[in-house]
Amino acid sequence: MSGSEKTRIGVAGYGFIGRHLCQKVQNNPQWGLELAFVWNRDSQKLSELSEELVLKDLGEFASRSPDLVIECAHPAITVQYGEAILKVADYLPLSVNAFADNHLESRLTEVSKKTGHRIFIPHGALIGLDNLIEVRDMWEEVTITFRKNPANIDFADSGMDPSTIVGETIIYDGPVRGISRLFPRNVNTMTTCALATVGLDRCRAVLVADPSLDVAIAEVEARGKDGSLHQSRKVQPVVGVSGTEMLASQVGSVLRAARVAAPGINFV
């Protein structure tokens, strides 16, 4: 911690999610959080913020003494700055697909262990993450399946033409590591599931494009070495490439990473 009574939060990225997080922190002083800095690739988008909050060069983040840095911009931030961030602060990357690079994951984990600063992975749309992690050594095989309308899938990196999809179509079935490169904006939760269980090379990802859907469906099936079975299914309205609960989910992850607990009953 920085020595102040409040936990200082640095935000890298001021798009839809970043703006929402900043507003939540500023509008809820009872959380005991304060913004240390806000950075965005296009600094013009930060004009609505007070000048002392704006960080023009993300490489200078340490000068703002953050306790927790949140990435909500692009996996490239983790690639370029992840190790440096972990030398001075805890780190919560929302673009979890950066960890599809196992060498990067190993480097960040090593730095984290040396410095004592933590890497937090948000649960996203994943139901039962705690249960999956608690017995992670028990899982024999894990499959996570997403079903979405093609209009809610970003095909930009896949080389596929979504206009050719006229019925329910499996557009990917294989290791999570592979799909994280083809559909990086759509499958952060798949990466989280793989990290929490059997790894990105053993966790099976299935992406189904279905023009008849007006919701996003996430299903997980984990089979244990002892014959146990974990199954979950989540159906959620969708906006863009994400479920409508996405903003609340990300804020919840930030609060847990910052160790903020509300008065009353808390589930841990």
Phi, psi of 34 (to 5 degrees): -145, 150
Is 55:38 a contact under the CB 8 Å cutoff? yes
Residue 262: band (very low, low, confident or very high) from pLDDT cuts 50, 70, 90: low
What is the pLDDT, as a whole number, of residue 1? Answer: 47
Domain ranges of the chain: 7-124+247-257, 129-244
**Whether 44 contacts 69, CB under 8 Å:** no
What's the burial of 128, exposed, middle or buried (CB within 10 Å: 0-12/13-18/19+)?
middle
pLDDT of residue 151: 93
User: 7-124+247-257: what fold?
Assistant: Rossmann fold (3.40.50)
Confidence category of residue 264, pLDDT binned at 50, 70, 90: low
**Band of the pLDDT at 2, cuts 50, 70, 90?**
very low
Query: Does pLDDT of 241 surpass 70?
Result: no
Q: What mean pLDDT do residues 123-143 have?
A: 89
**Whether the predicted pLDDT of 51 surpasses 50:** yes
% of the chain beyond a pLDDT of 90: 78
Task: Please state, as a whole number, how many other Cβ atoms lie within 10 Å of the Cβ of residue 6.
Answer: 17
Can you spell out the DSSP letters for the chain? --SSSSEEEEEE--SHHHHHHHHHHHH-GGG-EEEEEEE-SSGGGGTTS-GGGB-S-GGGGGGG--SEEEE-S-HHHHHHHHHHHHTTSEEEES-GGGGGSHHHHHHHHHHHHHH---B----TT-TTHHHHHHTGGGEEEEEEEEEE-GGGS--TTTT--GGG--S-EEEEEEEHHHHHHHSTTT-HHHHHHHHHTT-TTTSEEEEEE-TT-SEEEEEEEEEETTS-EEEEEEEEEEETTEETTHHHHHHHHHHHHTT---SS----
When pLDDT is cut at 50, 70 and 90, the band that residue 123 belongs to is confident
- State yes or no: pLDDT of 244 exceeds 80: no
At residue 242, the pLDDT reads 65
Q: Give pLDDT tens digits for 208-218.
A: 999 999 999 99
Query: Chain-wide mean pLDDT for the chain?
Result: 91
Contact (Cβ atoms closer than 8 angstroms) between residue 187 and residue 197:
no
pLDDT tens-place string over residues 18-48? 999 999 999 999 999 999 999 999 988 999 9
Gap between the Cα atoms of 209 and 10, Å rounded: 36
Distance, CA of 88 to chain centre: 21
Give the pLDDT of residue 169: 97
The CA distance from 226 to 228, in Å, is: 6
pLDDT at 126: 83
Q: Quick check: 221 pLDDT over 50?
A: yes
**Region 185-197: what's the mean pLDDT?**
92
Give the residue, 167 or 239, on which the prediction is more confident.
167
What share of the chain has pLDDT > 70, as a percent? 93
Structure tokens at 162: 């979504």
Confidence of residue 266 (pLDDT cuts 50, 70, 90): low
> 129-244 has which CATH code?
3.30.360.10
pLDDT of amino acid 125: 74
- What does the alpha-carbon distance between residue 101 and residue 109 come to, in Å, rounded to a whole number? 12
> Does the pTM exceed 0.85?
yes
